[in-house]
Amino acid sequence: MHKKVKKAVFPVAGLGTRFLPATKSIPKEMLTVIDRPLIQYAVEEAKAAGIEEFIFVTGRGKSALEDFFDYSYELNETLKHRGNKQDLDAVNHVVLDPGTVIYTRQQEPLGLGHAVWCARHLVKDEPFAVLLADDLIEAKKPCLKQMVEAYEECASNVVALMEVDAKESSSYGMVRPGVGQDKTVKIEGVVEKPAPKDSPSNLAIVGRYILHSDIFDALESVRAGKNGEIQLTDAISQLLKRQEFYGLKFDGARYDCGSKHGLIEATIEMALNRPDMASEVRSIIKQMVNKK
């Protein structure tokens, strides 16, 4: 029997340079879509998929993120005193249970692969999920839950896949899928950020992974050979020689909140999906469009 996926790693140690100067003092993962930071969406998705242990790989200047998931004594007392139950529920809802959250540090932002590798002693020899908070995924059934179900069927590594325009291949890890498969495709190969003419397909890996702990050995050897950033895709490519990887074309919409336009798109879409905001936001957009 394969082990259940109970641990999730959230790499949040990147510099977020595309959002400078905001990210000089605010972690990128704390940027908000309406009234929640990106990291909250990712943590809630993980909880809904049955994750019990939350491992954050943080860096310098990320303490706002730790405080966010912690109990805030002064705020709670003030809200209690004011009898503000709704806000009190909202702040209490995000507090993670004692003993279920672990923070470790990536001292230098040496890439996503390196950040994941920093969690090796916490994950140990269990299968684990990786969620990139800047990939916000809206789905009826949370994306990671769909992936856990796929993992339970194939008992192997699973990555989230999305179709992208050919010209966008140089922004993603692109996969070479096996032939004749449907939603869950067997992956034959991966290429990190290929030029459109070199891309093996239009299927890109987006920020959700369920990985076997052997990925740490693969990351170790990739690490040894590089001076610059260590890519997770390179380690996947290496592990593909000895293990199976499947790609899940998940149901849902993904927003690239690591980019300015993606964060704006997510904010508009999510607002239009919220009953408490939709009509007001729709009329604001209409007025704006009419003026242009």
In the complex with ligand UTP, the residue whose CB is nearer, 134 or 234, is 134
| Closest CA relative to residue 112, chosen from 224, 190, 11, 23 | 11
- Based on CB atoms, which residue is closest to ligand UTP, 56 or 156? 56
* Ramachandran angles phi, psi of 232, nearest 5°: -65, -35
Least Å distance, CB 278 to ligand UTP, is 29
Between 86 and 227, CB nearer to ligand UTP: 227
Q: How far is the CB of 147 from ligand UTP (least distance, A)?
A: 18
Chain contacts with ligand UTP (rule: CB under 6 A): 11-18, 28-29, 57, 106, 109-112, 114-115, 132-134, 258
C-beta of 92: minimal distance to ligand UTP in Å? 26
Give the Cα separation of 184 and 77 in Å (integer).
Answer: 49
Least distance (Å) between residue 69 CB and ligand UTP: 16
- Residue placing its CB nearer to ligand UTP in the complex, 225 or 228: 228
Going through the chain in order, the beta strands assigned E by DSSP cover: 7-11, 32-33, 36-37, 53-58, 101-105, 128-131, 135-138, 157-163, 173-177, 184-192, 203-211, 245-249, 253-256
Comparison of 27 and 177: residue with beta carbon closer to ligand UTP: 27
C-beta nearest to ligand UTP: residue: 14
Provide the token pair at 45. 């998705």
Q: How far is the CB of 33 from ligand UTP (least distance, A)?
A: 15
- Encode 50-86: b = buried (16+ Cβ within 10 Å), e = exposed: ebebbbbbbbeebeebeebbeeeeeeeeebeeeeeee
